[in-house]
Structure 1
Amino acid sequence: MSASISLQSDVSVGYLGPPGTFSHQASMKRFGDSLAYVPYPKIEDVIAAAAKEEITYGVVPIENSTFGAVVQTLDAFVDQPRVRIRAEVYLPVTQSLLSRYQLSAIRKVYSHPQAFGQSRQWLDQNLPNASRIEVSSTAKAAELAAAETYTAAVSSEVCAAMYHLDVVAKDITSAKDNTTRFFVLGQSSDLPTGDDKSLLMFTVDHRLPGALCSALDVFAKYKINQTAINSRPSRQRQWHYMFFVEIVGHELDDNVARALEDIKSYCLDLVVLGSYPRQSY
Structure 2
Amino acid sequence: MSDSPIDLDALRNRIDNLDSELLRLISERAECAQQVAQVKTAEDADAVFYRPEREAQVLRRIMALNKGPLDSEEVARLFREIMSACLALEQPIKVAYLGPEGTFTQQAALKHFGESAISLPMAAIDEVFREVEAGAVNYGVVPVENSTEGVINHTLDSFMDSSLSICGEVVLRIHHHLLVSETTRQDKVSRIYSHPQSFAQCRKWLDAHYPQAERVPVSSNAEAARLVKTEWHSAAIAGDMAAKLYGLTRLAEKIEDRPDNSTRFLIIGNQDVPMSGEDKTSIVVAMRNQPGALHDLLEPFHRHQIDMTRLETRPSRSGVWNYVFFIDFKGHRDEPRVAAVLEEVRLRAAEVKVLGSYPIGVL
TM-score (norm 1): 0.91
- The letter for the 2-side match of 1:146 is K
The answer to whether structure 1 residue 137 and structure 2 residue 226 are counterparts is no
The answer to whether structure 1 residue 228 and structure 2 residue 293 are counterparts is no
Partner of 2:35: none
- Alignment CA distance shift 1:95-1:273 (3 Å): same
Distance 2:119 2:362 in 1: 25
CA RMSD in angstroms comes to 2.1
Instruction: Between 236-245 and 88-97, report the one with greater CA deviation.
Output: 236-245
Is contact 1:41-1:136 (8 Å) kept? no
- The letter for the 1-side match of 2:266 is F
- Alignment CA distance shift 1:75-1:11 (3 Å): same
- Alignment CA distance shift 1:48-1:119 (3 Å): same
Q: Whose helix proportion is higher, 1 or 2?
A: 2
Q: Deviations over 1:55-89 (max 9, x none)?
A: 10111112222222222211222232x11111111
- Alignment CA distance shift 1:280-1:13 (3 Å): closer
The answer to whether structure 1 residue 33 and structure 2 residue 115 are counterparts is yes
The answer to whether structure 1 residue 262 and structure 2 residue 350 are counterparts is no
Is contact 2:281-2:357 (8 Å) kept? yes
Match of 1:169 among 241, 252, 269: 252
Q: Deviations over 1:241-277 (max 9, x none)?
A: 2211101111111111111111113322211111111
- The letter for the 2-side match of 1:141 is A
Distance 1:252 1:175 in 2: 37
1:56-75 equivalence runs, <5 A: 56-75=138-157
Match of 1:92 among 173, 177, 193: 173
Distance 1:189 1:23 in 2: 23
- The letter for the 2-side match of 1:197 is K
Q: Deviations over 1:9-63 (max 9, x none)?
A: 2420011111111111111111112222110111222123223322101111122
Distance 2:349 2:117 in 1: 40
Number of corresponding residues: 279
Deviation at 1:161, TM superposition (A): 2.4
The answer to whether structure 1 residue 249 and structure 2 residue 331 are counterparts is yes
Deviation at 1:8, TM superposition (A): 5.8
Distance 2:352 2:135 in 1: 23
Distance 1:95 1:72 in 2: 22
Distance 2:262 2:103 in 1: 14
Partner of 1:111: 194
Q: Deviations over 1:166-216 (max 9, x none)?
A: 22211101111222221111112311122211111111112x111121011
Deviation at 1:280, TM superposition (A): 4.8
Partner-residue secondary structure (3-state), 1:147? coil
- Alignment CA distance shift 1:278-1:221 (3 Å): same
Larger relative contact order (CA 8 Å, sep ≥ 6): 1
Identity of aligned residues (%): 38
Partner of 1:217: 299
Is contact 1:17-1:140 (8 Å) kept? no
- Alignment CA distance shift 1:279-1:9 (3 Å): closer
Larger radius of gyration: 2
- Alignment CA distance shift 1:190-1:161 (3 Å): same
TM-score (norm 2): 0.71
Is contact 1:202-1:242 (8 Å) kept? yes
Is contact 2:309-2:328 (8 Å) kept? yes
Deviation at 1:149, TM superposition (A): 5.0
Distance 1:215 1:143 in 2: 47
Unaligned runs of 5+ in 2: 1-50, 56-83
- The letter for the 2-side match of 1:250 is H
Distance 2:270 2:173 in 1: 27
Is contact 2:185-2:232 (8 Å) kept? no
Deviation at 1:116, TM superposition (A): 1.6
Q: Whose strand proportion is higher, 1 or 2?
A: 1
Partner-residue secondary structure (3-state), 1:139? helix
Partner of 2:40: none
Deviation at 1:103, TM superposition (A): 4.9
Partner-residue secondary structure (3-state), 2:229? helix
